[in-house]
Amino acid sequence: MQDTGAVDTLMSHPLAAMLAYFSVGILMLIVCLACFEWVTKYNCWNEIRKGNVAVAMATGGKIFGLCNIFRFSIQAQDTIYESLLWASIGFLLLLVGYFMFEFLTPVFRIDEEIAKDNRAVGLIAMLLSVSLSYIIGAAVIYA
């Protein structure tokens, strides 16, 4: 069995706890964004480099959504391990929301429209990620 006494002692110091949550949050954000990159048909960072505002909005919504879920978890005073678990579950739920968005709009392909810099679709994708993060986050507090 793993001894978490040292981690608990470290986390009892506010500055250390803040740095730990920040570090884990950044690491989780990088991993989740890499996974989002893997499931989209376009390369987010290449499109953003080219000035694709729709991709920037959709990616920004994902970043906000992931960080917001992690924030709710910290606010619920979960341990860093629980926060990581909730962030992982929240990420999976955001992915489900993205795929549902694609499924529920059979008139056009979401990824293709965002890749073509359709800002209306990019805005909806951003707002979907942000909105779902509040629902997921509220559920984290009550879990």
Question: What residues does each domain of the chain span?
Answer: 5-142
pTM: 0.84
Angle between the 14-39 and 53-75 helix axes, to the nearest 10 degrees? 140
Handedness of CA 121, 39, 103, 142 (dihedral sign): negative
Residues 6+ apart with CB under 8 A from 39: 95, 98
Query: What's the pLDDT tens digit per position in 55-113?
Result: 999 999 999 999 999 888 888 877 888 888 888 898 899 999 988 988 888 888 999 99
Q: What one-character-per-residue DSSP string does 42-59 give?
A: S-HHHHHHTT-HHHHHHH
Distance between CA 13 and CA 50 in Å, rounded?
A: 44
